[in-house]
Amino acid sequence: MGANYRSALRGRSAAEFLAKLGIVEEESDETLYWLELISESSLAKPEVVEPLWKECNELLSIVVATINTTRRNQKASK
């Protein structure tokens, strides 16, 4: 997620920025999936997984909000 976000920040256009943020969104969701599997299969204690899941979910919310704001700003500037 972090590497893809950093790459998005280096986007050469708003379209490229949005495309790369879409990858960040996908990677965040995939991370949540793996954390859920780890938790459900008891591979790690809930007190270890839950804070990671919460943090990842918060980051995903931030990324989605950024995508939505960027799209609104693009429409407003046209």
Q: What letter does residue 11 receive in the DSSP assignment?
A: -
- We report the CATH number of the domain holding residue 24 as 1.20.1440.60
Regions in the chain scoring below 70 on pLDDT: none
Q: How high is the pLDDT of residue 78? A: 73
Please report which residue ranges of the chain form alpha helices under DSSP H. 2-9, 14-40, 46-76
Give the domain range for residue 31.
2-76
CA distances from 50 to 41, 47, 57 (A): 14, 6, 10
pLDDT computed for residue 21 by the predictor: 97
pLDDT for position 58: 97
User: Count of domains in the chain?
Assistant: 1
